[in-house]
C-alpha cells in the first residue's frame, strides 16, 4: 500500500525517532562524561595509554555482566546473585587449581559447569514457584556467598587465595581470559617512541601498556553477541515477548519458561567469565569478590535504556552504560575527588536514567499508559 498515504500520519521527526531508540540516552551520556573528564582529569593522566587502559578494563568488566543482566531484564527477570556468583566461580577456579592441584583449564571448565548449573537452578525455582525472581535470587545472593566462604575456609582455611598467576600463565586455556593481544603492535609503538616505555627496571624498554587485555575482547564479543541474539534471531523475539507479556507470549506458543531458564544460565555464564578474567589476570581469588556487582550490572542496563519492568531494552545501550559507569568511577578517582562522591554521582545518574526511560516509554506506546 505504498501509494496510499494515511493523512493521519503526523511526520515524526528524525529527532523524535532517534529519541525513542533505547541507546540514545546512553550515547549522549557517554559523550557527556568523556567531555567532562577530558576537561577536569586529563592533566592527571586519565587519557594516557595507561589511564585509558585503566578505565576501559573497568568498563569492560561492567559490560561483561551487564550483557547477561540486560537480556534477563528484557525477559522480565532479575538476577541478584551475580556478585555472589562471581565470588563463587572465582573461588572454584582458585581452590581447584591451587588447593587440589587440578590443571587450570579443568578448574575453569568446572567453574563454568557449576555456575551455569546454579544459574539454571535459579531459573528453575523462579519458573516453578512463580515467585518474583527478585526474591529467589536474593536468597541465592546469600546462599552462594555463604557457601563460597564456607567452601574456602573449610578447604584452605583462608578466604583469599593468591598464587594463580604462574599457574595461569603456564596453562593453555587461562590466557584466553587473563592474557593480552596485539602485544607486538604495542611493543613496536613503544620502540618507535609513540607510546610510553619503562625507563628502568626489569621491564626496561617495554611499553607501559603492553597490549589489549583479552577481558576487553570478551566484553566487546559479548555485547555484539547479545545484540545480535536480541535483534536478529527468533530467540530474541521471544526474549522481548517473555518480558513484554509472558501470558500473551505463551498463547503464541513461545516457550517462555525455556527462554527464561536459558537466560538465567547465560547470566551465570557472564558472571563466571568475569570471575575467570579477574582471577587469571590479577592472580588471586577472594571469597568476598564481586560484592554489589549485581546492582552495578542492573544500573548499567538501566542507564542503557532498558525498562525495569521488562520487554524493552538494548544490549548496545547496556554496553554504553558500562562505559559510562567505568569512566565516571575511574574519572573521579583520577581527578582525586573524594571517593564517596562517586556514589552520589552514580545515584544521580541512575535517577536521571530512569526518569528519561519512563518518558521514552510514553513516547513509544503513546501517552495512554
Partner 1 sequence: MSEPIIKLDNIKKNFGSVIALEGVSFDVNPGECHCLLGDNGAGKSTFIKTMSGVHPPSSGEIYFQGEKVTFNSPHDAISKGIATVYQDLGMIPLMSVSRNFFLGNEPTKGWPVKLFDHETANKITEDEMSKFQILLRSPEQAVGTLSGGERQTVAIARAVYFGAKVLILDEPTSALGVKQTANVLDTIDKMRTKGIAVVFITHNVRHAYSVGDRFTVLDRGKTIATANKNEVSPDKLQNLMAGGKELPSLED
CB neighbours of residue 21 within 10 Å = 14
**Residue of 11, 35, 56, 15 whose CA lies nearest to 323:** 56
Residue 202 interacts with partner 1 (CB under 8 A)? no
Query: Shortest distance, CB of residue 234 to partner 1, whole angstroms?
Result: 4
Q: Which is nearer to partner 1, 232 or 343 (CB)?
A: 232
Cβ distance to partner 1 smaller for residue 23 or 281: 23
Nearest approach, Cβ of 322 to partner 1 (angstroms)? 23
Could you say whether residue 13 binds partner 1 (CB under 8 A)?
no
Only one of the segments 164-172, 211-219, 304-312, 333-341 lies at the binding site for partner 1 (rule: CB under 8 A); that segment is 304-312
Asked whether position 249 contacts partner 1 by CB under 8 A, the answer is yes
Integer Cα distance of 107 and 90 in angstroms: 10
If one asks whether residue 247 binds partner 1 (CB under 8 A), the answer comes out as yes
Q: Is 213 in the site for partner 1 (CB under 8 A)?
A: no
Q: Which of residues 32-71 bind partner 1 (CB under 8 A)?
A: none
Is residue 11 involved in binding partner 1 (CB under 8 A)? no
Q: Give the range of 89-97, 134-142, 235-243, 344-352 binding partner 1 by CB under 8 A.
A: 235-243
Residue 250 contacts partner 1 per CB under 8 A: yes
The count of residues interacting with partner 1 (CB under 8 A) is 32
Per CB under 8 A, the list member of 117, 131, 170, 252 interacting with partner 1 is 252
When asked if residue 365 is in the footprint of partner 1 (CB under 8 A), the reply is yes
Told to check if 226 binds partner 1 by CB under 8 A, we report no
- Tell me: does residue 255 bind partner 1 (CB under 8 A): yes
The sign of the CA dihedral 323, 324, 328, 334 is: positive
Per rule CB under 8 A, is residue 338 in the interface with partner 1? Answer: no
Q: Which residues pair with 207 in a beta bridge?
A: 197
* Interface pick for partner 1 out of 16, 39, 232, 341 (rule CB under 8 A): 232
Our CB check for partner 1 shows the closer of 7 and 338 to be 7
Q: Does 221 bind partner 1 (CB under 8 A)?
A: no
Least distance to partner 1, CB of residue 88, Å: 32
Longest dimension (CA), the chain: 76
240 is an interface residue for partner 1 by CB under 8 A: yes
Is 3 exposed, middle or buried (CB count within 10 Å of its CB: 0-12, 13-18, 19+)? exposed
Minimum distance of partner 1 from residue 176's CB (angstroms): 23
CB of 1 to partner 1, least distance (A): 5
User: Does residue 253 interact with partner 1 by CB under 8 A?
Assistant: yes
Query: Could you say whether residue 233 binds partner 1 (CB under 8 A)?
Result: yes
The torsion angles phi and psi of 132, rounded to 5 degrees, stand at -60, 140
The distance of closest approach from Cβ of residue 247 to partner 1 in the complex, given in angstroms and rounded to an integer, is 8
364 is a contact residue toward partner 1 (CB under 8 A): yes
Residue 18 touching partner 1 (CB under 8 A): no
3-state SS, the chain, equals: CCCCCCCCCCCCCHHHHHHCCCCHHHHHHHHHHHHHHHHHHHHHCCCCHHHHHHHHHHHHHHHHHHHHHHHHHHCCCCCCCHHHHHHHHHHHHHHHHHHCCCCHHHHHHHHHHHHHHHHHHHHHHHHHHCCCHHHHHHHHHHHHHHHHHHHHHHHHCCCEEECHHHHHHHCCCCHHHHCEECHHHHHHHHHCCCCCECCCCCCCCCECCCCEEHHHHHHHHHHHHHHHHHHHCHHHHHHHHHHHCHHHHHHCCCCHHHHHHHHHHHHHHHHHHHHHHHHHHHCEEECCCCCCHHHHHHHHHHHCCCCCCCCCCCHHHHHHHHHHHHHHHHHHHHCCCCHHHHHHHHHHHHHHHHHHHHHHHHHHHCCCC
> Hey, which residues between 309 and 328 contact partner 1 (CB under 8 A)?
311-312
Q: Which is nearer to partner 1, 213 or 310 (CB)?
A: 310
Name the site residues for partner 1 (rule: CB under 8 A).
Answer: 1, 4, 6, 9, 232-234, 236-238, 240-241, 244-245, 247-255, 307, 311-312, 361, 364-366, 368-369
Amino acid at each position: 500500500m505504498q501509494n496510499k498515504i494515511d493523512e493521519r500520519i503526523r511526520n515524526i521527526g528524525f529527532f523524535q525517532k532517534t529519541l525513542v531508540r533505547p541507546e540514545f540516552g546512553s550515547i549522549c551520556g557517554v559523550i557527556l562524561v568523556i567531555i567532562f573528564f577530558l576537561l577536569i582529569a586529563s592533566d592527571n593522566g586519565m587519557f594516557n595509554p595507561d589511564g585509558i587502559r585503566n578505565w576501559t578494563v573497568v568498563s569492560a568488566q561492567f559490560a561483561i555482566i551487564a550483557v547477561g543482566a540486560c537480556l534477563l531484564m528484557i525477559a522480565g527477570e532479575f538476577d541478584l546473585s551475580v556478585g555472589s556468583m562471581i565470588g563463587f566461580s572465582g573461588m572454584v577456579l582458585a581452590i581447584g587449581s591451587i588447593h587440589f592441584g587440578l590443571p587450570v583449564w579443568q578448574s575453569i571448565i568446572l567453574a563454568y559447569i557449576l555456575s551455569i548449573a546454579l544459574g539454571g537452578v535459579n531459573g528453575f525455582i523462579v519458573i516453578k514457584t512463580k515467585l518474583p525472581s527478585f526474591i529467589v535470587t536474593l536468597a541465592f545472593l546469600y546462599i552462594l556467598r555463604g557457601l563460597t566462604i564456607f567452601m574456602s575456609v573449610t578447604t584452605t582455611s583462608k578466604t583469599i587465595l593468591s598464587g594463580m598467576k604462574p599457574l595461569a600463565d603456564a596453562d593453555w586455556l587461562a590466557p584466553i581470559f587473563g592474557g593480552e593481544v596485539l602485544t607486538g603492535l604495542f611493543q613496536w609503538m613503544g620502540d618507535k617512541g609513540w607510546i610510553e616505555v619503562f625507563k628502568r627496571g626489569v621491564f626496561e624498554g617495554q611499553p607501559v601498556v603492553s597490549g589489549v587485555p583479552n577481558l576487553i575482547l570478551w566484553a566487546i564479543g559479548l555485547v555484539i553477541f547479545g545484540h545480535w541474539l536480541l535483534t536478529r534471531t527468533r530467540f530474541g523475539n521471544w526474549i522481548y515477548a517473555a518480558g513484554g507479556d509472558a501470558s500473551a507470549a505463551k498463547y503464541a506458543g513461545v516457550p517462555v519458561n525455556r527462554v527464561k531458564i536459558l537466560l538465567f544460565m547465560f547470566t551465570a555464564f557472564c558472571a563466571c567469565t568475569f570471575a575467570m578474567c579477574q582471577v587469571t589476570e590479577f592472580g588471586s581469588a577472594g571469597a568476598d569478590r564481586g560484592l554489589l556487582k549485581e546492582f552495578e550490572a542492573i544500573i548499567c542496563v538501566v542507564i542503557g535504556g532498558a525498562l525495569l519492568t521488562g520487554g524493552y531494552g538494548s544490549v548496545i545501550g547496556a554496553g554504553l552504560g558500562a562505559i559510562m559507569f567505568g569512566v565516571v568511577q575511574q574519572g573521579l578517582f583520577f581527578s582525586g575527588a573524594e571517593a564517596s562522591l562517586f556514589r552520589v554521582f552514580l545515584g544521580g545518574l541512575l535517577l536521571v536514567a530512569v526518569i528519561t526511560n519512563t518518558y521514552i516509554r510514553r513516547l513509544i506506546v503513546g501517552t495512554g499508559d
